[in-house]
Amino acid sequence: MPRIQLLIYTSIRVILNTAHRMIYPFLSVFARGLGVDVSVISGLIANRAIFGTFTPFIIPFIEQRGRKFGMLLGLGCFVSAMGLVSFLPTVTSLGIALVLSMFGKAFFDPSLTAHISDQTPYSERGSVIAILEFAWSFAFILGVPAVGWLIARSGWASPFLTFTLLGTAAFLYVAFTLKNSVMLNHPEGGVFANIRAVFTSPVSLVAISIGLLVSAANELVNVTFGIWLEDSFQLQIAALGAASAIIGLSELGGEGLVFGFVDRLGKVRASGIGVIANCLAAVLLPIIGRTQTGALIGLFLFYITFEFTIVSIIPLITEVMPNARVTMLSFAGAGHSIGRGVGALLAPGLYAVNFSYIMVVAIIFNILGLAAVWYVSHHHD
């Protein structure tokens, strides 16, 4: 695939990811702008997550119509969502937009990844997908600060108009430049045949569980690290600001490591190494986290090893069931969401006992994830 095309697709993903991530740092800003309590916006975010679990069951209708159709449908949902808030900035429109833009991302991302996979040999796929995944960290490092600048100049709703215009440009680019990369075979057994294939394949289910397990481990720390820093160092604003920068840089570093090494190491080996390294980081964090500097270094190591793991898994997933690639990627994404939900539910109770318990359970999840990697490597041809 031409580099310029890959960079354009990555830039489009930066736009979608920024719109997805901006709700977290500016949650209180949106609440003030709408004149509601922060809990109302938190509830809208929760609704988005709930609706997200249903997207894999919509994907089969999209996959049979080709990669281009899925990408255009995703971008169409995104533009509609952003435009709705631009022209009708209310709590209701924001709630609808969060769900609609989530659907847009859920349709666009696996369709694009499948398209890239169609065009790229498996031996080179890890580095190419890593470039796409840079969009996640760049959304945090570049996109979110740009949103902050827009809000400061023009109010809380101003980013939505910008995203509407950028999304429209992305839609037109895909519409006029992309040709479907493969001739799709309609599976026997109807539109849900690919879903049945995923659920009746032990290898597919175990492969999906890898992301679920490591995401659960990661979410345990996501939910509690801010509280831990505040309780430990009484420097909430400074510490959390530094931690946010650390997370963004560690995500970028993890994606860079995947770009440099995953194809050389092999996808299975890279995933296994990532899980083991994340376990070691989990062991190290409570030990060196007795000072603020040590805590931030520990968080950096934990997040960079997680990002390396999660991005290494993606090219592995693309080849588990090539004939149902979009469906497989979609269920893998749903697995990540379920894992994060499990981690979020467990985290408060574990932290109430001791932060070290968070790391113990994170290591247990990771060990189960490592076992899943081993199973896939020994049972997938």
- Dihedral over Cα of 30, 143, 70, 78: its sign: positive
Domain chopping of the chain, boundaries:
3-178, 194-379
Question: Are the C-beta atoms of residues 194 and 63 closer than 8 Å to each other?
Answer: yes
321 or 375: which carries more pLDDT confidence? 375
- The answer as to CATH 1.20.1250.20 being correct for domain 3-178 is yes
Mean pLDDT of 90-103: 94
Mean pLDDT of 336-365: 88
Mean pLDDT of 181-204: 73
Query: Kindly report the CA angle at 27 between 91 and 246, in degrees rounded to 5?
Result: 155
374 or 229: which carries more pLDDT confidence? 374
How much is the pLDDT for 240? 52
94 or 2: which carries more pLDDT confidence? 94
Equal fold, 3-178 vs 194-379: yes
pLDDT tens-place string over residues 45-72 = 778 877 877 888 888 778 778 889 999 9
Give how far Cα 51 sits from Cα of 79, 99, 210, 316, 331, Å. 19, 7, 22, 26, 14
Q: Nearest to residue 329, comparing CAs of 63, 14, 104?
A: 63
Amino acid at position 26, single letter: F
Q: Which of 168-177, 246-255, 295-304, 311-320 has the highest mean pLDDT?
A: 168-177
How much is the pLDDT for 237? 47
Compute the distance between CA of residue 275 and CA of residue 366 in angstroms, rounded to an integer: 6
pLDDT tens-place string over residues 203-259 = 999 999 999 999 999 888 877 777 777 777 765 544 555 566 677 788 888 888 988
Q: What is the mean pLDDT of the chain?
A: 86
pTM of this structure: 0.75
For residue 24, pLDDT over 80 is answered with no
Give how far Cα 24 sits from Cα of 48, 148, 278, Å. 13, 12, 25
Amino acid at position 2, single letter: P
- Dihedral over Cα of 45, 48, 53, 55: its sign: negative
Question: Are the C-beta atoms of residues 100 and 84 closer than 8 Å to each other?
Answer: yes
How much is the pLDDT for 104? 94
Question: Are the C-beta atoms of residues 362 and 282 closer than 8 Å to each other?
Answer: yes
Angle between helix 67-87 and helix 91-119 axes, rounded to 10 deg: 160
Mean pLDDT of 192-201: 84
Compute the distance between CA of residue 159 and CA of residue 86 in angstroms, rounded to an integer: 8
> Domain 194-379 falls in which CATH fold?
Growth Hormone; Chain: A; (1.20.1250)
329 or 162: which carries more pLDDT confidence? 162
Token pair for 273:
């190494």
How much is the pLDDT for 171? 97
φ/ψ region of 266 (left if φ > 0, alpha if ψ in -120 to 50, else beta) reads left
Lowest mean pLDDT among 2-11, 159-168, 332-341: 332-341
Compute the distance between CA of residue 91 and CA of residue 78 in angstroms, rounded to an integer: 18
Q: Nearest to residue 66, comparing CAs of 191, 180, 172?
A: 180
φ/ψ region of 185 (left if φ > 0, alpha if ψ in -120 to 50, else beta) reads beta
How much is the pLDDT for 244? 63
For residue 290, pLDDT over 70 is answered with yes
Q: Which alpha helices (H) appear in the chain, and where do they start and end?
A: 3-21, 27-34, 38-52, 59-63, 67-87, 91-119, 122-138, 144-154, 158-177, 193-199, 202-233, 236-265, 267-288, 292-318, 325-353, 355-379
Amino acid at position 195, single letter: I
Running DSSP on this structure, what letter comes out for residue 266?
-
